[in-house]
Chains A and B, each alone.
Chain A
Amino acid sequence: MTLIEFRNVSFVHQTGVTALSDVSLTVGKGETVAVVGENGAGKTTLVRHTNGLLKPTQGSVVVDGVDTRDTTTATLSRAVGIAFQNPDHQLFSESVENEVRFAMKNFGFAEGLISQRLDWALKFFGLEQYRKSSPLVLSGGEKKRLTLACILAWDPEVVVLDEPTVGQDSLQKEKLAQIFRLLQSTGKTIIIVSHDVEFLWPIQPRLVVMSGGRVVADGKISVIMADRELLEGARVTQPQLLRLYSGLRNKPAGPFLDVLEARDWIGGWRARREAR
């Protein structure tokens, strides 16, 4: 079922700069889509169309059957939650607690539910000790986590994450990967903008590659990541495990998706060889 549809969307900034050129794209319910491409390719502009924050100059964006021009961002946000790249553009409450409460209150959630979701979100993202603190005293990585906590608390149908791994250490990245699996298992639709190919690879999302405001490739990450020429043009590098796979003489039918899989296969290969 199609949840989001971009129909020949172009977007021109007030400065006259064209950020999107004739983009057509559909995102189905429950899909995980990663958007990659060079700095300035139009990735952030693209995702800001999903909740009506930006409206197309030409073409149309339809979310759950509604043209984004016919409704408000406030209404669309109930279904589409976006965590911005720069958390300072998003955080404004006087306390961490109220930041998380804000949207849920606006959506008219009952107080009991708000408290319950708030506790869960702060605990999950390791922000409990900052409950009463100002968001401004948090570190960059913590602010980023707070924006995620705010969005997951109100449980939107579509979760859009713009560069979620920036400033996150590996423990936090592992936690993010867990969140992905959790969201995927509950049938949520996820759109992630990221430069972090090592983070994306084990998730194996559908990959949309953008360059110069256009979608230049759209398909399975394992297929697209093997196309070096295409990656070069979009200034994307290959993940390490795929580079390893390309260099091996003896290898399985498809590339290793994570370190454990590579370890098991290489271990098995060695055992088989020694048995001979």
Chain B
Amino acid sequence: MSITTGSSTLGERKAIASIEGLSFRYPDSQRHALQDVSLEIGQGEVVLLAGPSGCGKSTLLRAINGLIPHMYPGDYRGSVTVCGLTVAETPMSTLAQNVGLLFQNPENQIFMFSVERDIAFGLQNLSVPRAEMRSRVDEAMRLLGVTDLAHRAPHELSDGQKQRTALAGVIAMRPKLIILDEPTSLLDPKTALEVVSLIEKLNRELGITFIVVEHRLELLIPIAHRLVVMDGGSKVMDGPPQDVLADSRVEAYGVGVPPISRLYNALSKDGMRLPKVPETPEELAEELNGL
């Protein structure tokens, strides 16, 4: 089983982000939020980051987009390189052109008078020429399906539309890597699935790399290339999602293992041999029907 550490899980992919021996402690804290974490993210990967509350996921995301150490100073050891830039030595404005961040709650992200202006906001800050701005905003609106909403005020939008608008604002910056912190937790199940298929589309069509933190694993598993599990500030598991979920240790880490994966693991433990690790309940039903 390929539950490995280091770069061997990358296969043929080139690394877009490399974290080497990273330890970090917030100034007011006794313990390290991150303990000697090494992780390589390959170009074009969709990486799902999971682990119990307080395991260091959010700290790791901040270390990748530069909020750590630029906005949150602390005891920082090791190195983080993103798109060839050493994060600790690169200004936030430069990093922001390479790494996009989408918050859990779009209300914290969209605030302008219209959808279009909101999407243009980041580009304005970078003083992108007007014509270029126009075409990038139009492209982002088209990709996220919010063109019809261009002149609407954000408060008139549904939650799903808000999340798409926030994501369009991130896409307009043309980042190579996008970090999503629980992007679907406030959305109804259908809208959440729509956001997931958008992530899949942006990954497939534009080759954008995604790092996603999400507690409802069953939503993201179908599109993730890799599942990384953290616990107590360390990386404890890393591999293809189906392999990680089929490892009996995973449930002990407080990761929201989907019911179907838990059932598969329980049946395997009881000595039942099923042809393959199921990705969906329908797949598991088929396997059982075929016995």
Interface residues of A (CB under 8 A from B): 37-41, 139-142, 163, 166-173, 195-198, 232, 235-237, 239-241, 243-244, 246-250, 258-260, 262-263, 266-267, 270
Report yes or no: A237 in contact with B182, Cβ–Cβ below 8 A: no
5 contacts between A and B (CB under 8 A): A39-B188, A140-B104, A169-B51, A237-B190, A240-B259
Report yes or no: B190 in contact with A248, Cβ–Cβ below 8 A: no
B262 interface residue per 8 A CB criterion: yes
Known: A39-B160, A236-B190, A237-B190. A196 touches B286 (CB 8 A): no
Report yes or no: B262 in contact with A259, Cβ–Cβ below 8 A: yes
Tell me which residues across on chain B come within 8 A of A41, comparing CB atoms: 188
Report yes or no: B254 in contact with A259, Cβ–Cβ below 8 A: no
Interface residues of B (CB under 8 A from A): 51-54, 58, 104, 158-160, 182, 185-193, 215-216, 218, 251, 254-260, 262-263, 266-267, 270, 272, 280-282, 284-286, 288-289, 291
Write the nearest CB–CB distance from B263 to chain A, whole angstroms.
5
Write the nearest CB–CB distance from A175 to chain B, whole angstroms.
11
Known: A244-B281, A249-B289. A39 touches B159 (CB 8 A): yes
A-B pair count, CB < 8 Å, reads 123
Known: A243-B281, A243-B282, A266-B267. A195 touches B255 (CB 8 A): no
Report yes or no: B260 in contact with A244, Cβ–Cβ below 8 A: yes
B289 contact from A39, A168, A248, A263, Cβ within 8 A: A248
- A241 CA to B258 CA, complexed, in Å: 10
B189 contact from A195, A243, A246, A250, Cβ within 8 A: A195
B255 nearest CB neighbor, chain A only: A170
Write the nearest CB–CB distance from A242 to chain B, whole angstroms.
8
Report yes or no: A171 in contact with B52, Cβ–Cβ below 8 A: yes
Known: A244-B284, A263-B266. A171 touches B191 (CB 8 A): no
Tell me which residues across on chain B come within 8 A of A167, comparing CB atoms: 53, 104, 182, 185, 215
A37-B188, A167-B182 given; name 20 further pairs at CB < 8 Å. Answer: A38-B190, A139-B54, A140-B104, A141-B53, A169-B255, A169-B256, A170-B251, A170-B257, A172-B53, A195-B187, A198-B258, A198-B259, A232-B190, A235-B188, A240-B260, A244-B281, A244-B282, A247-B284, A262-B263, A266-B267
Known: A38-B191, A244-B281. A142 touches B53 (CB 8 A): yes
Write the nearest CB–CB distance from A217 to chain B, whole angstroms.
15
Write the nearest CB–CB distance from A37 to chain B, whole angstroms.
7
- A90 CA to B182 CA, complexed, in Å: 22
B28 nearest CB neighbor, chain A only: A137
- A140 CA to B213 CA, complexed, in Å: 14
Report yes or no: B159 in contact with A40, Cβ–Cβ below 8 A: yes
Write the nearest CB–CB distance from B270 to chain A, whole angstroms.
6
Tell me which residues across on chain A come within 8 A of B254, comparing CB atoms: 169-172
A240 contact from B218, B267, B288, Cβ within 8 A: B218
- A198 CA to B255 CA, complexed, in Å: 14
Report yes or no: B158 in contact with A40, Cβ–Cβ below 8 A: yes
Report yes or no: A170 in contact with B256, Cβ–Cβ below 8 A: yes
